[in-house]
A = this chain, B = another copy of it.
């Protein structure tokens, strides 16, 4: 297809930025990509892997001819990254990003680049790996990308950003930024917080050794360790940026956990059974909608 944008600048060349660059090369071969990363070692590795056509030594150089700028840095680094291109980016360029929180990021980008069209987006895709070696072209395939335009955004530009993500394989949904942050608080942020917590709890026991935790992790624990291995900087920023929604979801989770704790303490088997039965339906729907692998155990190993 014809690329919705001719020249695309990717700022931040980790898992997400690298995957954007590789996906553009595969699915929009007519587009030209430039890229920049603050860390010289990441720029070197990005050039070796060919994550973008040209790796530049400054962000300003990378955006000079851009029609689309995609910020792929942690939420807390968006403001600084945007300020670094403020003098150099063409006035017609569309500014977007891949951040996991949308209200705070929209504000950071808008404040740093007044007068430019800011159309934030969030591809709900990723793996537990990070850095310039982690990206791959099919990361976004069959995943959802949520575009969160401001109320006064130009619908034509919103459409172009959506078309860009569809070209990379994603299904696109347009949503209000505040609602996005609430939805992701439950489907992504709370699960990560809980996974980080339980892995920490398991490391701190006196009566159970770390070696035992590792050996017997196939009983369920190992499923949590995957997302607890995600990029610490990014996740610190997510929790600080989407604080209110995360605290709200956490409060609800804690109440529900307390109710199950009580059922265990008083021996209320019926309450436990009822809760454990209704959760199966959600799993079935996730598999039916192609958002997870139906093979038992995620298809690990070779049954």
Nearest Cβ on chain B to A18's Cβ, whole angstroms: 13
**A297: CB under 8 A from chain B?**
yes
- Residue on B nearest A251 in the bound complex, by CB: B261
CA distance A219 to B142 in the complex (A): 13
Cα distance A207–B178 in the bound complex, in angstroms? 11
Distance from A188 Cβ to chain B, minimum over Cβ atoms (Å)? 3
Chain B residues with Cβ under 8 A from A265's Cβ? 243, 247
B contact residues around A235 at 8 Å (CB): 272, 276
- Does A188 lie within 8 Å of B280, measured CB to CB? no
Interface residue from B207, B240, B260, B279 paired with A272 (Cβ < 8 Å): B240
Cα distance, A150 to B252, chains bound together (Å):
43
Is residue A86 contacting chain B, with contact meaning CB distance below 8 A? no
B256 touches A240 (CB 8 A): no
Chain A positions 179 through 217: 1 when the CB is less than 8 Å from some CB of chain B, otherwise 0 = 100111011111111111111111111011010111111
Residues 91-116 of chain A, each 1 if its beta carbon lies under 8 Å from chain B, else 0: 00000000010000000000000000
Pairwise interchain contact A214-B289, C-beta atoms closer than 8 A = yes
A83 adjacent to chain B (CB < 8 Å): no
CA distance A206 to B204 in the complex (A): 36
The answer on a CB contact under 8 Å between A197 and B146 is: no
Known: A143-B218, A194-B257, A216-B188. A252 touches B201 (CB 8 A): yes
Which A residues are within 8 Å of any B CB, using their own CB? Answer: 76, 100, 124-129, 134, 136, 138-139, 141-144, 146, 173, 179, 182-184, 186-205, 207-208, 210, 212-230, 232-233, 235-237, 239-240, 243, 246-247, 249-250, 252-254, 256-257, 260-261, 264-265, 267, 269, 272-273, 275-280, 282-286, 289, 291-293, 296-303
